[in-house]
């Protein structure tokens, strides 16, 4: 008897959840979010191209850091405005999957660069002529 | 006792029917997890390029090879295709079949323009003797950018398939779901391209 009473309640909760999730995560934006995303993307793309093509800064490191910062910001803009990421979609699982992937990617990238940089600095120096004669 | 068993039996299929609806809602999550795995593929290729990107083997460097205005036009093509896909999704929500098809077509044309420019660039590089076999830098460059280009190619094939589907069957729930998956795929490719033009082209030319 108790299971009978329980089942419809469960069903209801299920339906409510469905209706709720459909409204939020169906991946719909409005014209406004798309246009905001587009304008921001154009600006965030144009600036790094201008920095490199116009040779604005003498410092290469500063330019490189700025390029990476603009790329990171633009990726976030795309995620929010075009991919409609939000912490509520699919009960938070898309964000969880994203965070997990980012952690894996960060470990993999940092580890690869670290190890291979050390390997490179410990290699015997080579001149271009030596390289040309390599097998 | 038997009555109770019967009610349980009667309930069980009902519960099963509710479950049948579930895959509809979780397609997006499943597709998102696929995109995340795709992201790992690109991360590995980015790492490879990061490690090998300075090994020119006494060959040409990015500053000698890359034509930044061309890359900027390419970037614009992909960005335009992203926003036009967004317009297609907005029309889909309004149930406007012909407008959806129109914007999907525009998206496809921008995608083709992107691919054409990329193939022109590849042809140009190989013609100059800077093919994938020239140096480790060029091997990793062709692998990374080529993989992205292959994704765009398959995206366009998928787009044309869906255009035919929408044309024949209309904006039925199945087609809407497919269009939403392709929307995520297409925007995801644009996100990857941000990494490519920043990390490979701009940082490469910077030296």
Render pLDDT for A20-53 as a digit per residue (tens, 0 to 9): 334 334 456 789 999 999 999 999 999 999 999 9
Chains A, B: CB contacts under 8 A, how many?
139
Length of chain B in terms of residues written = 207
What's the CATH number where B144 sits? Answer: 1.20.120.80
Q: Is residue B26 one of the residues assigned to a domain?
A: no
Nearest to B187 among A11, A63, A82 (CB): A82
Q: Is residue B2 one of the residues assigned to a domain?
A: no
Burial class (CB in 10 A: 0-12, 13-18, 19+), A64: buried
More confident residue, B23 or A78: A78
Residue A112 CA to residue A9 CA, distance in Å, equals 52
Confidence of residue B112 (pLDDT cuts 50, 70, 90): very high
pTM value is 0.81
Render pLDDT for A83-124 as a digit per residue (tens, 0 to 9): 888 888 778 888 999 999 999 999 999 999 999 888 878 877
SS3 B60: coil
Flag whether the ipTM exceeds 0.90.
no
Burial class (CB in 10 A: 0-12, 13-18, 19+), B98: exposed
| CB-CB under 8 Å, B15 with A71 | no
**Cβ(B88)–Cβ(B109) below 8 Å:** no
Report the b/e string of A68-94 with b at 16+ CB within 10 A: bebbeebbebbbbbbbbbeeebbeeeb
Q: Which H helix or E strand runs over B75?
A: helix B68-93
Q: Which domain holds residue B111?
A: 66-206
Q: Is residue B22 one of the residues assigned to a domain?
A: no
Domain count, chain B: 1
Q: Is residue B30 one of the residues assigned to a domain?
A: no
CB-based contact (8 Å) between B5 and chain A? no
The secondary structure of residue B207, as a DSSP letter, is -
CB-based contact (8 Å) between B29 and chain A? yes
The secondary structure of residue A90, as a DSSP letter, is G
Q: Is residue B53 one of the residues assigned to a domain?
A: no
């Amino acid at each position: 008897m108790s299971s009978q009473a329980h089942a419809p309640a469960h069903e209801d909760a299920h339906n409510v959840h469905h209706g709720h999730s459909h409204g939020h995560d169906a991946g719909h934006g409005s014209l406004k979010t798309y246009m905001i995303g587009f304008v921001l993307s154009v600006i965030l793309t144009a600036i790094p191209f201008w920095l490199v093509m116009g040779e604005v800064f003498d410092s290469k490191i500063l330019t490189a850091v700025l390029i990476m910062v603009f790329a990171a910001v633009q990726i976030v803009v795309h995620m929010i405005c075009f991919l409609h990421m939000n912490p509520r979609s699919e009960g938070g699982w898309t964000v969880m999957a994203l965070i997990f992937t980012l952690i894996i990617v960060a470990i993999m990238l940092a580890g690869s660069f670290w190890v291979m940089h050390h390997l490179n600095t410990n290699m015997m120096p080579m001149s271009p002529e030596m390289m040309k004669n390599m097998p | 006792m038997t009555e109770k068993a019967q009610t349980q039996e009667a309930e069980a299929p009902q519960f099963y029917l509710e479950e049948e609806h579930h895959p509809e809602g979780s397609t997006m999550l499943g597709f998102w997890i696929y995109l995340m795995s795709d992201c790992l593929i690109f991360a590995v290729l980015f790492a490879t390029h990061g490690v090998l990107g300075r090994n020119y083997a006494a060959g040409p460097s990015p500053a000698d090879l890359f034509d930044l205005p061309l890359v900027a036009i390419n970037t614009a093509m992909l960005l335009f295709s992203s926003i036009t896909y967004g317009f297609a999704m907005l029309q889909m929500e309004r149930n406007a079949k012909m407008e959806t098809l129109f914007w999907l077509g525009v998206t496809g044309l921008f995608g083709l323009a992107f691919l054409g420019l990329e193939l022109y660039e590849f042809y140009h590089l190989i013609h100059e003797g800077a093919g994938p076999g020239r140096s480790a830098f060029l091997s990793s460059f062709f692998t990374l950018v080529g993989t992205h280009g292959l994704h765009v190619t398959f995206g366009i094939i998928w787009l044309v398939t869906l255009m035919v589907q929408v044309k024949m069957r209309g904006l039925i729930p199945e087609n809407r779901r497919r269009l939403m998956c392709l929307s995520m795929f297409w925007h995801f490719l644009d996100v990857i391209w941000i990494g490519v033009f920043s990390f490979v082209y701009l940082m490469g030319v910077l030296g």
